[in-house]
Amino acid sequence: MYCSDLFRYNRRMTTPVRIGKTPLGGSNPIRIQSMTNTSTMDTQGCVAQCKRIIDAGADYVRLTAQGVREAENLANIRTALRADGYDAPLVADIHFNPKAADVAALSVEKVRVNPGNYVDPVKTFMHFDYTDAEYAQELEKIRNRFVPFLNICKEHCTAIRIGVNHGSLSDRILSRYGDTPDGMVESCLEFLRICISEQFTDVVISIKASNVLVMIQTVRLLVDRMNTEDMHFPLHLGVTEAGDGEDGRVKSAVGIGSLLMDGIGDTIRVSLSEDPELEIPVARQLVELLEARSKAVSIDVQPFKDFDPYSFHRRETDAAGRFGGGQVPLVIADCSHTDFDFSKAALKPDFVFVGENVTTRMDGLPQLCDVKVFHGQRETLPVFDTAERKLLETVSAPVKFLRISLDEFSSPFLQHLQTIPNLVLLLQSEQTNTVAELRAAFHFLLHEGCRMPVLLSLRSKARDREEEQLAAGLDLGSILVDGFGDGVFWSTDPANVFQSKLSDQVSVMFGVLQSSRLRMSRTEYISCPSCGRTLFDLQKVITQIKERTSHLKGLKIGIMGCIVNGPGEMADADYGYVGAGRGQVSLYKGKNCVEKAIPAEKALDKLIDLIRANGDWKEPEQL
Ligand code: SF4
């Protein structure tokens, strides 16, 4: 298994790696990092931005080195930083240019190479029939180029990261494994095996994707394969192109957070399409949330033997009204303490919980209420506590809800509950490690063959909105990505000092479902975090594109700063807007470039035209 205990936090033991004065892995703290987006030839600009990132609390700073000139200039940037007392290790980011990697290894503490393009050229999608001999020949070519680089790293005590990205796999890997988790894992292992044969061990690895499910399953699979091959390299975690604002935070918390909860991850980067220093407090808070959850005791439940953590399957349930049975997961808002009229809200929950305050709602939303005030009112369904379990059989309602937590589970009780038609469980957790408790409860239900739908019912104790976004992503998302849960009921603990707005709670629940790929409620922007290769003002362009397209629910739009890396990394998007040169943009439909190097000032209108021509456009007023 990829994880030693599914129901207890145990950090995966990895071999420490020397990275300047800040080692990584082993028992070292989980390190935080970010990446500059200034041109690497702009020494002063890079130095200033590195300082801002380090002052914000980063342990490492990465800079792109697209060519030998940029790689050479890293030495100047490093010298200037050291002169001003900044000694955080620097990392060079290399694509398509092994010579630049050789040069960078002379002056920075770590070099990241991408196995998909270290030696292999830009994907051509032309050669898909590699024979075993051709495949072996390609590997030999990689080895011949990679080993001299490793020798430079050995000589200069430079660590490396083997960083695989979904969407930048080589033709060779695609030919044999396709665009799959297996392909990404093998792409990484091919390079790792060379490192091992050369006794080079200062290696960190990463496998990233913008699709959170793909990213989680692939990293789990990689850890499983490494365990099999007795490899213990530390892992760098990140969700690529997570976007900005709430979307970026929630998506990162689901992807990175769920793996951290599995005990995986020695360094993280939260890739936001915002100023790089803003990534640091988000990453730090995510690690703090993990630490708060890591102290919980073990739970005595056996993992369900047929549970497959390497591919996504939703737990099968019988439908109870609109809940379960393969229907989209529903969102429930807590209006029991503060009511809210959702009539004009951009995002409406599917149900509201009103406690004892049943009224005729202006927004017409169906209600859940405490059973003590339930008298068969229209559009109203009763909620029971386990103390009221006897009423479950006597009260008549189309769907009934039972609040329950793992410590109330027993085999006879669950078997009895199975006999009650249209029952939905509101699964709660007051444990410190919510994820472990909820996950164990689902494994218990699987053991018992229980098919009633389950809603994840959690109360936030967050201190501010950002923490709430991260906690919801971590606690709800970690369960949803395992295929568990038919809906979410996220509310603020009434005793909490910070009380979030109901509309914000609803927004965060829809965000978690969207990030977990379970329910699309808004346009998804797969936007890169930008780096020294970025060819336009990314944040400005994202804002402009959002202003025109944010009503296109369910559509995925990639916004990538450069042509070198962008098209591969937004492989999941329906449409793409990619920097093609200074003042030039290329537009993509899926993976195909359909408008090459058009003037930037016309690009947004052209993107709308492209969406319209393909039948995906709707006027905002039509919605
Ligand atoms: S896609 Fe964005 S982050 Fe990635 S290399 Fe290009 S500009 Fe940099």
- Could you report the per-residue pLDDT of 491-533, keeping only the tens digit for each? 998 889 999 999 999 999 999 999 999 999 999 998 888 888 8
Residue 127: predicted pLDDT: 63
User: In this predicted structure, what is the pLDDT of residue 236?
Assistant: 98
The residue-averaged pLDDT of 168-175 equals 84
In this structure, is the dihedral angle defined by the CA atoms of residues 202, 222, 329 and 358, taken in order, positive or negative? negative
Do residues 473 and 252 touch, judged by C-beta distance below 8 A?
Answer: yes
**What is the distance of C-alpha 607 from the center of its chain?**
27
Q: Verify whether ligand 1 is closer than 6 Å to residue 533 (CB atom).
A: yes
39 lines ligand 1 (CB under 6 A): no
Q: What is the pLDDT of residues 468-488, one digit of tens each?
A: 999 999 999 999 999 999 999
What CA–CA distance (Å, rounded) separates 22 from 281? 19
Average pLDDT, the chain: 94
Residue-wise pLDDT for 599-608, tens only, equals 999 999 999 9
Query: How far apart are alpha carbons 561 and 536 in whole angstroms?
Result: 7
CA of 96 to the centre of ligand 1 (A): 13
387's CB contacts (< 8 A; 6+ apart) are none
Say if CB 265 and CB 256 are below 8 A apart. Answer: yes
Give residue 485's region: left, alpha or beta (phi > 0; psi -120 to 50). Answer: left
In whole angstroms, what is the distance from residue 311 CA to residue 236 CA? 21
- Dihedral over Cα of 495, 497, 500, 505: its sign: negative
Please report which confidence band the pLDDT of residue 566 belongs to, taking 50, 70 and 90 as the band edges.
Answer: low
Ligand 1 neighbourhood includes 94 CB (under 6 angstroms): no
pLDDT at 322 over 90: yes
Name the residue of 122, 168, 528 whose CB sits within 8 Å of the most ligand 1 atoms, as the mutation to test its pocket: 528
Q: What is the mean pLDDT of residues 114-122?
A: 80
pLDDT > 70: what percent of the chain?
A: 97
Q: Does the beta carbon of 170 lie inside 6 Å of ligand 1?
A: no
Identify the residue with better confidence: 98 or 566.
Answer: 98
Please state the rounded mean pLDDT for residues 601-619. 96
* pLDDT recorded at residue 563: 79
Instruction: Find out whether the beta carbon of 565 lies less than 6 Å from any atom of ligand 1.
Output: yes
Give the residue-averaged pLDDT of 41-57.
Answer: 98
pLDDT in tens, 392-450: 999 999 999 999 999 999 999 999 999 999 999 999 998 889 999 999 999 999 999 99
Q: Where are the alpha helices (DSSP H) in 157-211?
A: 171-177, 181-197
Q: Whose CA is nearest to atom 4 of ligand 1?
A: 565
Question: Is the confidence at residue 76, as pLDDT, over 70?
Answer: yes
CB-CB neighbours of 336 under 10 Å: 18
* DSSP code at position 205: E
Which two structure tokens, joined as six digits, stand for 59? 């342990």
Measured between alpha carbons, how far is 122 from 17 in angstroms, rounded to an integer? 31
pLDDT at 622 over 80: no
DSSP class of 235: B
Query: Edge-to-edge strands of the sheet including 575-581?
Result: 524-527, 556-560, 575-581, 584-589, 592-599
Helix/strand/coil (H, E, C) string of 419-450? CCCCEEEEEECCCCCHHHHHHHHHHHHHHHCC
Residue nearest to atom 8 of ligand 1 (CA): 531
Q: What is the pLDDT of residue 559?
A: 93
Ligand 1 atom closest to the CA of 560, numbered from 1: 1
Mean pLDDT calculated for residue range 549-553: 93
Closest to 84 in 3D by CA, of 54, 115, 63: 54
Q: Which residue type occupies 384?
A: F
Burial zone of 198 (CB within 10 Å; 0-12 exposed, 13-18 middle, 19+ buried):
middle
DSSP E strands, 418-483: 423-428, 454-460
Predicted local distance difference test score (pLDDT) of residue 623: 47
Q: Is 66 in the pocket of ligand 1 (CB under 6 A)?
A: no
Average pLDDT over residues 149-161: 98
Region 255-276: mean pLDDT is 96
CA–CA separation, 423 vs 318, rounded Å? 10
Give 297's pLDDT tier (boundaries 50, 70, 90): confident
pLDDT, tens digit, 9 for 90 and up, residues 184-219: 999 999 999 999 999 999 999 999 888 899 999 999
Q: How confident is the model at residue 621 (pLDDT cuts 50, 70, 90)?
A: low
**Mean pLDDT across the stretch 322-336?**
97
Of all helices (H) and strands (E), which one includes residue 233?
Answer: none
Regarding the beta carbon of 204 and ligand 1, being less than 6 Å apart is answered no
For the stretch 310-319, pLDDT in tens is 999 999 999 9
What's the confidence (pLDDT) of residue 530? 87
Weakest mean pLDDT among 5-19, 268-282, 565-579? 565-579
